[in-house]
Amino acid sequence: MSTACEDVLALAIEAFTETFGDVNGDMVYGFAPGRVNLIGEHTDYNDGFVLPMALPLVTVVIGRRNNTQTSRIVTTCETIDDQKDITFELGSICRGSPKWANYVKGVIFNFHRPVREGFDAIIASSVPLGGGLSSSASLEVAVYSFLEALTGTNEADLSRKALACQKAEHDFAEVPCGIMDQFISTMAKEGHALLIDCASLEATSVPLDDPNVKIVIVNSNVRHELTGSEYKTRRDECESVASHLGVKSLRFATRDNLNGVRAKLSTEEAKRACHVISEIERTRRGAELLKNKDYQMFGKFMIDSHNSLRKDFEVSCKELDELVNIALSVDGVYGSRMTGGGFGGCTVSLVKTDAVENLTDKIMKNYSGNATLFVCSAGGGARFGKLQDIPLKLWSDSQLFPV
């Protein structure tokens, strides 16, 4: 499927017409982007810093009220369950199958007002499922945005919107994720990355619109089964170290404190904490480097981040390591690392604009699997409104170039 935003919208409209009838003036939309994290991995649930940017890969929800108590939702997306549609009563929302519907139902349940009117809706998305580019958060935030348009009530406090979507993921999808993905999908600013302090939820924008550099994302197109269970294990290990140290989270730990309790920690716990403490520092300093266009040094931090995720946090895999190594062998690549939860998914590289072609050629020739590449710049955050007012200009300015 095409990844252009206009095509995602066209697909949603076509599916709506086929399933529920002609689109009319009552139709509303919500859309929300996926993200790539430049640095700051597995730091969000440790109250640390992250530095993501939104992608012009989006999830779109369109629909309208149907004047009943029953809601019907159909997804056009690839799913792990066969079932592509759900019908449910708003008064009795509970988790169950298909799995994708839990993200949707969780958001309806956690919406800032009770949703009383039934609706018919279609979901379409260009965010690759399970690719580490935050397909789940973009679905949650798109559904929340759609409900804002449907009910005519917007959540003025965007942090609360992001937190409600995160709660939906915790309670309904049973994934103990941090706040990074929902936050960037809600608040992203075009042409900028966001330095997010996950303890205070304060965000600082970092301009990222220099024509001399590009962000290149490579999807390894592998997903190892470990993702779900290992994510929780990592989180538990970090929390265990924090409790040995007597601090709320690893954000408030230092290498010196860590040395003091090392004898009480398992080898794994000590390694996890080393990654988190060093990654929080790399991210805080990295944002400054990026702001000052010190790409050389920022690239070095990206490489250090990857090595720390590989050796100490142990969430990389051979395909991601292979892609990073290929990228780093190309002149003009400042840095490269895995991005997202790990065990497959994508790498992100910071590349001189005139080296992009060499990089894509080399990946295509040398990677042992099938890679998908995106050269992209930072997109904006979630939006919603009447379908007839959708800002087509914005949509047609897609900055994504699938290679």
Active-site annotation, residues: 181
The yes or no reply on residue 148 touching ligand GAF (CB under 6 A) is no
Evaluated on CA atoms 252, 258, 264, 270, the torsion sign reads positive
- Calculate the dihedral angle through the C-alpha atoms of 129, 180, 276, 306, rounding to the nearest 10 degrees: 40
Q: Are 135 and 124 in contact (CB under 8 A)?
A: no
Binders of ligand GAF among residues 338 to 377 (CB under 6 A) are: 340-341
Nearest to 169 by CA among 151, 181, 186: 181
C-beta of 69: minimal distance to ligand GAF in Å?
33
Omega of the bond leading into 128 within 30 degrees of 0 (cis): no
The span from the CA of 25 to the CA of 150, in Å, is 12
**Which residue's CB is nearer to ligand GAF, number 72 or number 275?**
275
The yes or no reply on residue 47 touching ligand GAF (CB under 6 A) is no
The yes or no reply on residue 45 touching ligand GAF (CB under 6 A) is yes
Counting residues that bind ligand GAF (by CB under 6 A) gives 11
**Which residue's CB is nearer to ligand GAF, number 52 or number 63?**
52
Binders of ligand GAF among residues 171 to 190 (CB under 6 A) are: 177-178, 180-181
Q: Among 40-48, 77-85, 285-293, 352-360, which window interacts with ligand GAF (CB under 6 A)?
A: 40-48
**Which residue's CB is nearer to ligand GAF, number 84 or number 248?**
248
Among 23, 28, 34, 42, binds ligand GAF (CB under 6 A): 42
C-beta of 41: minimal distance to ligand GAF in Å?
4
**R_g of the chain, CA atoms, integer Å:** 21
Those residues with Cβ within 8 angstroms of residue 99's Cβ, 6 or more apart along the chain or in another chain = 79, 80, 81, 173
Those residues with Cβ within 8 angstroms of residue 104's Cβ, 6 or more apart along the chain or in another chain = 73, 86, 123, 139, 143
C-beta of 181: minimal distance to ligand GAF in Å?
5
C-beta of 282: minimal distance to ligand GAF in Å?
13
Tell me if residue 315 falls in helix, strand or coil.
coil
The span from the CA of 210 to the CA of 294, in Å, is 12
- Calculate the dihedral angle through the C-alpha atoms of 112, 117, 122, 125, rounding to the nearest 10 degrees: 0
Q: Are 250 and 168 in contact (CB under 8 A)?
A: no
**Which residue's CB is nearer to ligand GAF, number 45 or number 146?**
45
**Which residue's CB is nearer to ligand GAF, number 137 or number 327?**
137
C-beta of 48: minimal distance to ligand GAF in Å?
10
**Which residue's CB is nearer to ligand GAF, number 120 or number 181?**
181
- Calculate the dihedral angle through the C-alpha atoms of 257, 258, 260, 264, rounding to the nearest 10 degrees: 140
The span from the CA of 298 to the CA of 282, in Å, is 9
Tokens representing 20 are: 């529920």
**Which residue's CB is nearer to ligand GAF, number 60 or number 133?**
133
Helix (H) or strand (E) holding 74: strand 70-75
Q: Among 38-46, 90-98, 108-116, 285-293, which window interacts with ligand GAF (CB under 6 A)?
A: 38-46
C-beta of 381: minimal distance to ligand GAF in Å?
17
The span from the CA of 33 to the CA of 267, in Å, is 38
The span from the CA of 299 to the CA of 148, in Å, is 40
Among 5, 11, 12, 41, binds ligand GAF (CB under 6 A): 41
**Which residue's CB is nearer to ligand GAF, number 134 or number 398?**
134
C-beta of 378: minimal distance to ligand GAF in Å?
18
C-beta of 241: minimal distance to ligand GAF in Å?
16
Q: Among 41-49, 220-228, 246-254, 328-336, which window interacts with ligand GAF (CB under 6 A)?
A: 41-49
Helix (H) or strand (E) holding 274: helix 267-291
Which residues here bind ligand GAF, judged by CB under 6 A? 41-42, 44-45, 134, 177-178, 180-181, 340-341
